[in-house]
Amino acid sequence: MTSNESLIDLERGLPTTQADIEALRRARRSPPMSPSEYLRFLSSLTVSMKALRERRGPRGPEPFQL
C-alpha cells in the first residue's frame, strides 16, 4: 500500500458498518455525564497525566502530520 492509498477520501465518505451506525445512535441518545461522573471516568483511566506528558512523540526527521 502506498502512502496515497492509506489516506482517507473524505469526499467519498468513511466506510461504516451497521454496528457502527447503531453504536453512534446509542451514544447520541444517552444522557450526558454529570461533572462527578466525568471525573470518576477520568480517574478510572490507567495512564497517568505524568506518563502522558513524559511520553516521547514521533521520531524521525519528518515533521508529524495527520
**pTM attached to this predicted model:** 0.38
C-alpha cell at 6: 492509506
Cα gap 39→11, rounded to integer Å: 37
Could you read off the pLDDT of 1-50 as tens digits, one per residue?
Answer: 455 555 667 677 788 889 998 998 988 888 889 999 999 998 898 888 78
Q: How far is CA 64 from the centre of its chain?
A: 17
